[in-house]
Amino acid sequence: MKYLDEYRSAELVGNLVRAIRSAVTHPWTIMEICGGQTHAILRFGLDELLPPQITLVHGPGCPVCVTPVSLLDAAGRLARMPGLILCTFGDMLRVPGTQGGLFQARAEGGDVRIVQSPSEAVRIAEQNPNRQVVWFAVGFETTAPATALAVKQARLRRLDNFSVLLAHVRVPPAMEAILSSPSNRVQGFLAAGHVCTIMGTAEYEDLARRFHVPIVVTGFEPCDILEGILHCVRQLEAGRHEVENVYSRVVRSNGNRQAQALMAEVFRPVDLAWRGIGSLSGGGLAFTPEYESFDAVSRFGPCEPAATGGPFSLADTGRNQEDCIAALVLQGIRKPNECPAFGVRCTPETPLGAPMVSSEGACAAYYRYRHRESYLATVTPP
């Protein structure tokens, strides 16, 4: 397939792997930010192709994983309100809050609909003028502009039955938190290409300088990822710490100015407690005063308080079981298969932590591609 096969070419992959092997002299730990990159690494077995000096750890770039339990519970309560339609991305239905997830709410009669984009939720609101429609907005800077656009559309069409439960999150505060942690082991980052498509690369300059860490803007195909690793390794070996863009076919250093303006008009950064990571200054988004009327929280008021965790409180009530290391996995401190519960008591059917629930989560990726890793021993290695 055009524009795809080129970036999965076995020949190019071989060349990049050889270049990485000849560039590396020291052990290095590199984190890929985005869950999409984690999946590609495992799906294509890229980590298997790398020299042993390079350790890849997996970042918190799974928006479903880091969505606070309190917001999930809020979504569940909204979904159970008679007559209300809750729209969200498919992945969100699986994640359990303290009251069971949205699948549960749907089974109990709630009208929960899976949509592909926020504008579909706006259309549903238009088609159902007598019902309240809430868009449960999840995702990084990649999906936030689409939510902003949906809100503007709704205002233009005077849809007073449309509102948003905001759970958008921002990447740079999470990177800062990981680098500031005393147990941090990350020496270089592969920044998430799609996020940079929107936001550009400027906001990473300060992080690279302050923490002396190379940040390489990287895509999602095998060649993209290996090229990101190669450039990161070269910087580390040379003692450099710069922001580099190896995804220039998609990412411009200024990003998408129009999308940024849209976000600035509709949202403002706000502190948010990420699941598994804790409170991040500027880690989430809230509406600007002009658009506050679209906030589902203010529209429907504090719902019935849950048994655990306050009404719409952003504090993470936490549901992880004692021996679940999801928090350490999300910070790149441990790998999913280092968890004692991994694949034994923690599986996608019986998850203990969010990274096992979401298909973008690192634990789910390991489970899908690695939990029977011993199987590979008998297949001729590459």
The site map against another protein for 63-102 (x = CB under 8 A) is xx------------------------xxxxxx--------
From 21-29, 126-134, 293-301, 369-377, span contacting another protein (CB under 8 A): 369-377
Question: From the CB of 246, what's the least distance to another protein, in Å?
Answer: 18
Could you tell me how many residues of this chain bind another protein (CB under 8 A)?
Answer: 55
Name the amino acid, one letter, at 103. F
Q: Which is nearer to another protein, 142 or 187 (CB)?
A: 142
CA dihedral 41, 46, 47, 50 (to 10 degrees): -150
- Judged by CB under 8 A, the residue of 120, 160, 265, 295 near another protein is 120
- Judged by CB under 8 A, the residue of 13, 151, 167, 199 near another protein is 13
Q: Which is nearer to another protein, 9 or 320 (CB)?
A: 9
DSSP H or E run through 265: helix 257-266
10 touching another protein, by CB under 8 A: yes
Question: From the CB of 184, what's the least distance to another protein, in Å?
Answer: 24
Q: Which of residues 348-367 bind another protein (CB under 8 A)?
A: 348-349, 359-360, 364, 367
251 touching another protein, by CB under 8 A: no
Q: Which is nearer to another protein, 123 or 299 (CB)?
A: 123
- Tell me the C-alpha distance between 214 and 100, whole Å: 41
For strand 162-168 and strand 133-139, is the pairing parallel, antiparallel, or unpaired? parallel
- Judged by CB under 8 A, the residue of 29, 98, 117, 128 near another protein is 117
52 touching another protein, by CB under 8 A: no
- Judged by CB under 8 A, the residue of 30, 36, 125, 319 near another protein is 36
Vertex 83: Cα angle to 79 and 88 (nearest 5)? 35
Vertex 84: Cα angle to 166 and 141 (nearest 5)? 20
Q: Which is nearer to another protein, 134 or 208 (CB)?
A: 134
347 touching another protein, by CB under 8 A: yes
Q: What is residue 47's three-state secondary structure?
A: helix
- In sequence order, the β-bridge partners of residue 272 are 280
- Tell me the C-alpha distance between 317 and 308, whole Å: 7
Q: How many residues are present in the chain?
A: 382
- Judged by CB under 8 A, the residue of 138, 174, 263, 327 near another protein is 138
Q: Which is nearer to another protein, 61 or 200 (CB)?
A: 61
Q: Which is nearer to another protein, 226 or 296 (CB)?
A: 226
DSSP H or E run through 282: strand 278-287
Spell out the residues 6+ positions from residue 333 whose beta carbon is closer than 8 angstroms to its own: 57, 181, 183, 184, 185
The closest of 312, 326, 315 to 362, measured between CA atoms, is 326
- Judged by CB under 8 A, the residue of 38, 99, 132, 143 near another protein is 143
- Judged by CB under 8 A, the residue of 52, 130, 289, 379 near another protein is 379
Q: Which is nearer to another protein, 13 or 232 (CB)?
A: 13
Residue 109 is classified by DSSP as T
Distances (CA, A) of 86 to 114, 164, 296: 9, 9, 11
Q: Which is nearer to another protein, 227 or 299 (CB)?
A: 227
Structure tokens, 184: 């941090």
Rg, the chain, Cα only:
21
130 touching another protein, by CB under 8 A: no
Structure tokens, 158: 């005077």
The position carrying tokens 């309240």 is 132
Give the CA count within 13 Å in the CB-facing half-sphere of 257.
2
194 touching another protein, by CB under 8 A: yes
4 touching another protein, by CB under 8 A: yes
- Please, what is the end-to-end C-alpha distance for the chain in angstroms? 24
Binding site for another protein (CB under 8 A): 1, 4, 8, 10, 13, 34-36, 42-46, 48-49, 61, 63-64, 89-94, 114, 116-117, 120, 138-140, 142-143, 194, 222, 347-349, 359-360, 364, 367-376, 378-379, 381-382
